[in-house]
Amino acid sequence: MRRLPNYFLINLALAALVALLFVASVYVGRGGELLFTKLHAMDEIDRSLAWLILKEIRLPRAFLGLVVGATLGLTGAGLQGLLRNPLAEPGLIGASSGAALGAVLVFYFGLAAGSAMLVPLGGVAGALASLALLYLLAGRNPSIVTIILAGVAISAFASAFTSLALSLAASPYAVYEIIFWLLGSFTDRSMDQLWFALPFVVVGLALVASTARALDALTLGEDTAASLGFNQTSLKLRSILGTGLAVGATVAVTGVIGFVGLVVPHLVRPLVGHQPGRLLLPSALAGSAMVLAADILVRLPTSGPEPKLGVITSLIGAPFFLWLILRTRREAD
Amino acid sequence: MTLHITHLYASLGGARVLRDLSLDLTGTGFIGLIGPNGVGKTTLVRAIAGLIPFEGTLTLDGTALAAMPQRARAKRLAYLAQGAESHWPLSVERLVALGRLPHLEPFRKAQAADEAAITRAMQLTDVETMATRDVLTLSGGERARVLLARALAVEAPLLLVDEPVAALDPYHQIGVMQGLAAYARDGGMVIAVLHDLSLAARYCDQLVLLNDGHVHAQGTPAEVLTPQNLRDVYRVEAEVTGEGRGLTITPLAQI
């Protein structure tokens, strides 16, 4: 019988990988090699310029990678555990489409130029609105199927409005802005935007993390989990609200980063013996690692426009997911 | 351990399933809950487990079950659902360990007492040899024993099991029934919904025969499994032979 690797060691290894990629993310970039030489430069102006780049461009970007990756990894694992369905992903409950719509409306009305904070503000408002709508649709004590169907409906509705905003946009420039924002990227995000999203993310992730043992119990079905002392209504509320807050807030800042929340839990699951509660922490770490790595990847081409992060994660994630499905099918045969 | 049920009413999809059901059970032992399909056996078990709303009173050792916090109730009462399954390919020992969840303190790992309970449960159901196997690769009979071990690992004074031997071959039926009987001997009260009357007679200390949402008869297998009761409740003409643990019921014809 194959023994599982030690749980502590898995997390330690993943944390070390995240730390390494974080440092690399600060270091690598267009003209990145110069950054650290400049920090040691004699010239005062060079030094302060390098410091400015570090503080205003590189660090926010690396922190965003850390936070967004952890959010997608944790909420993806949590939602797959809650729905007992390995195809669930954080966007399923509609909060990320809602956040995207909220942000797009800010662009649509031309408010984005006014303040950099209005886009994330609109995004978070959109995420909260879609969560409220989910609550209204699904009711006080919803079944899992009701939650999924309501989430799908909200996503479709929000996407339709996003398309409407695109088709009615007054200026081609607004369309261009919206499309680029929707593709998902960490470029030109400031520390202020990160600070704005962080409280929602922290509360959301704490809510999802608090469901770990309930998710373990849910392996045996809702009735058995209830008989093991876990209130199912509270579990669903914490999981859905937490996912909506955390994912909504990150989408509000970065746009939609696809496939990470779907693929990362699959990668980590065999390492923790498929136990949904134990999956949460390593999945969050692996999510950070994957997003940081992908964000380094988009910076590697040294000329031409930078590819968008959301595009890269989907480009890598989709075939990878296909491979996972094929492998699972082979194992089942 | 006393389970006291008075004037219990419960509905299922708008239809009254339990009607003014009263039942008193005390001490330890293996109690078989029998009756034809649709008389409310599963509903009664689910009501006791706190999974469905009901009217009337249900008390466990004098405390109303409805007033007990969910976690406290989870320590005193274990429930094995009909056709229980695992949704993820956990290893057998991890699945059995889930039975200890009501006992785990927040942020604390499993203690020695938990490990001991898991080992005992796996011994009672004879699944120690498959401890590291993936539960989804087991046969139906093996999986049923593992899921029973999960319920036993709670070490609750009251164990509710809904049709634990349905769809099992005779070998695994006997294995599961022996596991339940051993748990009752060790000081638990086991209430199991059963359909095989001869099997119930062989292993149960007491039988409760339900009919039309209330208790029709209660007592030892010989007292309950009379040809008259089988006619009244099951609507079959049956031959009852043997005595004590060897009571055998052979249904002969519909009435």
CB contact under 8 Å between B86 and A84, yes or no, is no
Higher local confidence (pLDDT), B88 or A44: B88
> pLDDT at residue A85 above 70?
yes
CB contact under 8 Å between A229 and B102, yes or no, is yes
For the stretch A272-327, pLDDT in tens is 999 999 999 999 999 999 999 999 988 887 777 888 898 889 888 888 888 877 88
Best mutation site among A79, A220, A331 for testing chain B: the one with the most B CBs within 10 Å? A220
Closest to A131 measured CA to CA, from A247, A44, A34: A247
Question: In Å, how far are B182, B229, B253 from B201, measured between CA atoms?
Answer: 16, 14, 20
**A178: confidence class by pLDDT, cuts 50, 70, 90:** confident
Question: In Å, how far are A15, A16, A84, B98 from A213, measured between CA atoms?
Answer: 22, 26, 14, 9
What percentage of chain B exceeds 90 in pLDDT?
79
Residues of chain B in contact with residue A220, where contact means CB-CB under 8 angstroms, are 81, 84-87, 95, 98, 147, 150
Q: Are A270 and B134 in contact (CB under 8 A)?
A: no
Q: Which residue of A has its CA nearest to B87?
A: A219
Cβ contacts of A70 within 8 Å, gap of 6 or more:
A205, A284, A285, A287, A288
Mean pLDDT lowest for which of A66-75, A79-88, B86-95?
A: A79-88
Rounded Cα distance, B138 and A231, in Å:
30
Question: In Å, how far are A100, A162, A164 from A168, measured between CA atoms?
Answer: 17, 10, 6
User: How high is the pLDDT of residue A108?
Assistant: 87
Q: Which residue of B has its CA nearest to A84?
A: B87
Q: Which residue of A has its CA nearest to B106?
A: A213
What percentage of chain A exceeds 90 in pLDDT?
45
Q: For the whole model, what pTM was predicted?
A: 0.90
- E-strand spans in chain B? 2-12, 15-26, 29-34, 55-60, 63-64, 77-80, 158-162, 189-193, 206-211, 214-219, 236-241, 248-254
Closest to A239 measured CA to CA, from A263, A213, A266: A213
Residue A164 sits at the vertex; the CA angle it makes with A158 and A170, to the nearest 5 degrees, is: 135
User: How high is the pLDDT of residue A33?
Assistant: 58
> pLDDT at residue A208 above 90?
yes
Q: What's the whole-number mean pLDDT along residues B61-85? A: 91
- Give the dihedral of Cα atoms A128, A83, A258, A198; nearest 10 deg: 40
CB contact under 8 Å between B88 and A275, yes or no, is yes
> pLDDT at residue A124 above 60?
yes
CA A318 centroid distance within chain? 16
Tell me which DSSP letter residue B169 carries: -
User: How high is the pLDDT of residue A1?
Assistant: 41
User: How high is the pLDDT of residue A301?
Assistant: 78
> pLDDT at residue A31 above 60?
no
CB contact under 8 Å between B101 and A224, yes or no, is no
> pLDDT at residue A2 above 60?
no
Tell me the CA end-to-end span of chain A in Å, nearest whole number: 20
Residue A142 sits at the vertex; the CA angle it makes with A138 and A146, to the nearest 5 degrees, is: 60
Question: In Å, how far are A77, A103, A115 from A109, measured between CA atoms?
Answer: 36, 10, 13
> How many angstroms away from the CA of B211 is the closest CA of chain A?
25
CB contact under 8 Å between A221 and B46, yes or no, is no
Two tokens, residue A320: 């990878």
User: How high is the pLDDT of residue B81?
Assistant: 93
Q: Is A230 on the interface with B (CB under 8 A)?
A: yes
Rounded Cα distance, A122 and A274, in Å:
37
Question: In Å, how far are A11, A212, B69, B79, B137 from B102, measured between CA atoms?
Answer: 26, 13, 12, 12, 27
Q: Are A38 and A47 in contact (CB under 8 A)?
A: yes
Facing B81 at nearest CB: one of A3, A224, A274: A224
Q: What's the whole-number mean pLDDT along residues A238-265? A: 91
User: How high is the pLDDT of residue A5?
Assistant: 76
For the stretch B114-133, pLDDT in tens is 999 999 999 999 899 999 99
Q: Is A227 on the interface with B (CB under 8 A)?
A: yes
Q: What's the whole-number mean pLDDT along residues B176-196? A: 93
Q: What's the whole-number mean pLDDT along residues B149-178? A: 92
- Give the dihedral of Cα atoms A245, A248, A249, A252; nearest 10 deg: -160
SS3 of B45, please?
Answer: helix
Average pLDDT, chain A: 87
Q: Is A84 on the interface with B (CB under 8 A)?
A: yes
> How many angstroms away from the CA of B94 is the closest CA of chain A?
8
Facing B81 at nearest CB: one of A1, A223, A274: A223
Cross-strand pairs, B65: none
Closest to B82 measured CA to CA, from B151, B2, B6: B151
CB contact under 8 Å between A227 and B74, yes or no, is yes
User: How high is the pLDDT of residue A184?
Assistant: 85
Q: What's the whole-number mean pLDDT along residues A221-242? A: 93
CA B199 centroid distance within chain? 14
Query: Which ranges constitute the DSSP H helices of A183-231?
Result: 191-209, 212-218, 222-227
Q: Are A60 and A189 in contact (CB under 8 A)?
A: yes
Two tokens, residue B31: 């109690």
Rounded Cα distance, A248 and A72, in Å:
11
Mean pLDDT lowest for which of A234-243, B8-17, B188-197?
A: B8-17
Looking up tokens 């996407």, which residue turns up? A159
Q: Which residue of A has its CA nearest to B84?
A: A220
Cβ contacts of B207 within 8 Å, gap of 6 or more:
B31, B32, B33, B34, B200, B201, B217, B218, B219, B220, B221, B223, B224, B225
CB contact under 8 Å between B71 and A229, yes or no, is yes
Q: Is A40 on the interface with B (CB under 8 A)?
A: no
Q: Which residue of A has its CA nearest to B159?
A: A227
Which burial class, exposed, middle or buried, applies to B108 when counting CB atoms under 10 A from its CB (0-12, 13-18, 19+)? exposed
Interface of B with A (CB under 8 A): 46, 49-51, 70-75, 77-81, 84-91, 94-95, 98-99, 101-102, 104, 132-133, 147, 150, 154
Which burial class, exposed, middle or buried, applies to B162 when counting CB atoms under 10 A from its CB (0-12, 13-18, 19+)? buried
Q: Are B197 and B236 in contact (CB under 8 A)?
A: no
User: How high is the pLDDT of residue A3?
Assistant: 61
User: How high is the pLDDT of residue B13?
Assistant: 80
User: How high is the pLDDT of residue A88?
Assistant: 86
Rounded Cα distance, B154 and B79, in Å:
9
Count A/B contacts: CB-CB distance under 8 Å. Answer: 79
Q: Are B35 and B51 in contact (CB under 8 A)?
A: no
Q: What's the whole-number mean pLDDT along residues A20-26? A: 92
Rounded Cα distance, B214 and B159, in Å:
21
Question: In Å, how far are A84, A141, A202, B101 from A207, measured between CA atoms?
Answer: 18, 18, 9, 19
Rounded Cα distance, A310 and A103, in Å:
16
Rounded Cα distance, A176 and A169, in Å:
10
- ipTM value, please give it: 0.92
User: How high is the pLDDT of residue B203?
Assistant: 95
Mean pLDDT lowest for which of A328-332, B79-83, B137-141, B186-190?
A: A328-332
Rounded Cα distance, A165 and A270, in Å:
43
> pLDDT at residue A50 above 90?
no
Q: What's the whole-number mean pLDDT along residues A251-260? A: 89
CB contact under 8 Å between A220 and B87, yes or no, is yes
Residues of chain B in contact with residue A230, where contact means CB-CB under 8 angstroms, are 70, 101
